[in-house]
């Protein structure tokens, strides 16, 4: 299990909406709201699962989000997952 933070360029509401759309478009599952939730994305070598928690916003233009990866393919590094998740936003 590993945790990292991304800085989403928008509000918590915009994050939840964009995350839901981006993950669903890739065939994944997203459940959550503007404070916390879960996601699952299937890859060619296995599923990536995790949780997120919206942290206290720095401003109304940037929202920090803590991402915790709870399951991933063994051969995929956390840095690769962080990079891929960051590309969603």
Tell me the domain boundaries of the chain: 2-88
Q: Pull the structure tokens for residue 61.
A: 């233009």
Q: Classify residue 19 by its DSSP letter.
A: H
CATH class, domain 2-88, is: alpha beta
Q: For residues 56 and 18, give the distance between their C-alpha atoms in angstroms, rounded to a whole number.
A: 18
Q: Which of 71, 61, 69 is nearest to 85 (CA)?
A: 69
- One digit per residue, the tens of pLDDT, for the chain of length 89 reads 789 999 999 999 999 999 999 999 989 999 999 999 999 988 888 889 999 999 987 777 889 999 999 999 888 888 888 887 776 65
Query: For residue 8, what are the contacts with CB-CB under 8 A and spacing of at least 6?
Result: 14, 15, 18, 62, 63, 64, 65, 89
């Amino acid at each position: 299990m590993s945790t990292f933070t991304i800085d989403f360029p928008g509000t918590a509401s915009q994050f939840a909406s964009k995350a839901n759309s981006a993950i669903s478009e890739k065939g994944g599952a997203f459940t959550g709201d503007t404070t916390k939730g879960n996601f699952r994305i299937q890859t060619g070598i296995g599923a990536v699962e995790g949780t997120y928690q919206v942290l206290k916003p720095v401003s109304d233009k940037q929202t920090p989000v803590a991402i915790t990866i709870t399951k991933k393919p063994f051969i995929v590094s956390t840095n690769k997952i962080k990079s891929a998740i960051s590309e969603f936003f």
